[in-house]
Amino acid sequence: MDTSKPAASSSAAPRRSFKAQYLILYNFVSAVLWTTVFGRVVLLVPLVGFTHVYGGVGNFAKWTQTLALLEVVHALFGIVRSPITTTGMQVASRLLLVWGIVNNFTRQTAPSVAYSTMLFAWSFTEIVRYSYFVAALGSGGSGVPKILTWLRYNTFYVLYPLGILSEVTLVYKSLGPAKEWGYIYEIILKSVLLIYIPGSYILYSHMMAQRRKVLRGKQRQT
């Protein structure tokens, strides 16, 4: 979900526009919510084990992720500059996981290690991303702490494969129970698995391109 960019509302005007204020609030709230998800996951794993993580965080994570639907709305109405296709696809795939997979086939998917690793990868990425936006919007783009930029453009090397692998595992685990609902559900989930192949390639190369852009920009500054 690294494609959305902060709005270009960082003008010289001393008072922030309503749009900027709203975006800061949205990103701040999201950062706090994902920090809660992250905290719960890393505490629950040693306390109750992978199999019981869902009981302590499942509902909370589901609704936190559902809030990201607003990002599609932002892109749709041009509140942020991020492209609607990428944002839409990323939010849709996340919602498929929390609602379509884990909420429907809880018994077969939630106890899996993949569920915890997925939430770990998601929540860490989101904390960094939303904090980055809050810092960028709040400072007019110039005052983002270096550590946030570094985290944003380096952790994905590890966290994206971890997230994608976990997601694919969960979708794969629900093929069997989906078939009991009807053959069509299994077919749809199989199609989803196939779409992951080019999808993850595009997402990963997009992030590497972004990273190159940001690093090049930095070199120019020095």
Q: Of residues 32, 43, 209, 215, which one binds another protein by CB under 8 A?
A: 209
Is residue 27 within 8 Å of 74, Cβ to Cβ?
no
Q: Which of 160, 172, 185, 196 is catalytic?
A: 160
- CB 184 → another protein: shortest distance, Å? 6
Question: Active site includes 167?
Answer: yes
- For another protein, the closer of residues 39 and 83 by Cβ is 83
214 binds another protein (CB under 8 A): no
59 belongs to the binding site for another protein (CB under 8 A): no
Catalytic, out of 54, 153, 167, 185: 167
H helix count then E strand count, the chain: 10, 0
Question: Measured from the CB of residue 2, what is the shortest distance to another protein in angstroms?
Answer: 16
Distance (Å) of CA 148 to CA 23, 104, 217: 18, 36, 16
Matching residue, tokens 């783009």: 141
Contact 33, 64 (CB under 8 A): yes
Hey, CA dihedral for 38, 97, 23, 25, is it positive or negative? negative
Residues identified as active-site: 160, 167
Using CB under 8 A, list all residues that contact another protein.
83-86, 89, 183-184, 187-188, 190-195, 198-199, 202, 205-206, 209
